[in-house]
Chain A
């Protein structure tokens, strides 16, 4: 196996593990961007992650039902495009606070100058 293939194989294995648990962050970010219905959330996640994250509508519905149940997400119905009414999801006050705390504890670390420098540095 040449070096490029080895890197690709390892990268794929690492990314599979890394992406687990990221869908929540992407869904929350899409809702922070504004109220959205499921197809819009799906498009936001895929576009903003440069297609590195993909999600099925069924999986999104399942997750949104759970988030609504625990009170971090809610929805209001709005008119659909010629079709039935759509559910427009949004973050509740609890959801916003949860996202803020998660970001400050886990994401902002990467904006630390030393870490930022290391991330941009090429060997």
Chain B
């Protein structure tokens, strides 16, 4: 069974596009001191990505109920977000008023949560047979 499924790939593309738009919006709002707009953009970004993650994750699970879907989607979110954030600073696209690159700190603290998620996934694996939850195999 493929680890990178078509639904995961579609999610990664949508999330990458959303993250680029979010970064544009963030740079613009910081430059223009638009605090209210910055909050709106951040909230929209969060809920939109939670929505597409839920949509593609559900489709993936309905297609094949592997128990690592949640972790794989989380890992892709982490990798895509941090790559875009790093590239943004590498190409100097950040706002002039942004003081420093917080990407390493974000990657570190988020990485701790990702690690916890991985441990939970490993713990839950004992209830599976070849990655499928025992209660999901025979319907």
Contacts and interface: CB of A to CB of B under 8 A. Distances in A.
A24 B139 contact: yes
Nearest to A63: B139
Interface string B35-64: 000000000000000000000000000111
A72 B65 CA distance: 17
B75 to A, nearest CB: 21
B130 interface: yes
Interface residues of A, number: 12
A24 B136 CA distance: 12
Contact of B130 (A21, A24, A59, A69): A69
B138 interface: yes
A62 interface: yes
Overall SS of chain A's interface? helix
B64 to A, nearest CB: 6
A70 interface: yes
Nearest to A28: B138
Interface string B119-139: 000000000011110001111
Contacts of A24: 138-139
Given A62-B62, A62-B63, A65-B64, A70 B130 contact: yes
Most A CB contacts (10 A, CB to CB) among B63, B64, B137 go to: B137
Interface in B95-139: 129-132, 136-139
B126 to A, nearest CB: 16
Interface residues of B, number: 13
Contacts of B129: 70
A20 B131 CA distance: 22
A66 B63 contact: no
B94 to A, nearest CB: 45
Given A62-B62, A62-B63, A69 B1 contact: yes
Interface of A: 20-21, 23-24, 59, 62-63, 65-66, 69-71
Given A23-B139, A70-B130, 15 more contacts: A21-B138, A21-B139, A24-B138, A24-B139, A62-B62, A62-B63, A62-B64, A65-B63, A66-B64, A66-B65, A66-B132, A69-B64, A69-B130, A70-B132, A71-B130
Interface of B: 1, 62-65, 129-132, 136-139
28 contacts: A20-B139, A21-B138, A21-B139, A23-B139, A24-B138, A24-B139, A59-B139, A62-B62, A62-B63, A62-B64, A63-B139, A65-B63, A65-B64, A66-B64, A66-B65, A66-B132, A66-B136, A66-B137, A69-B1, A69-B64, A69-B130, A69-B131, A69-B132, A70-B129, A70-B130, A70-B132, A70-B137, A71-B130
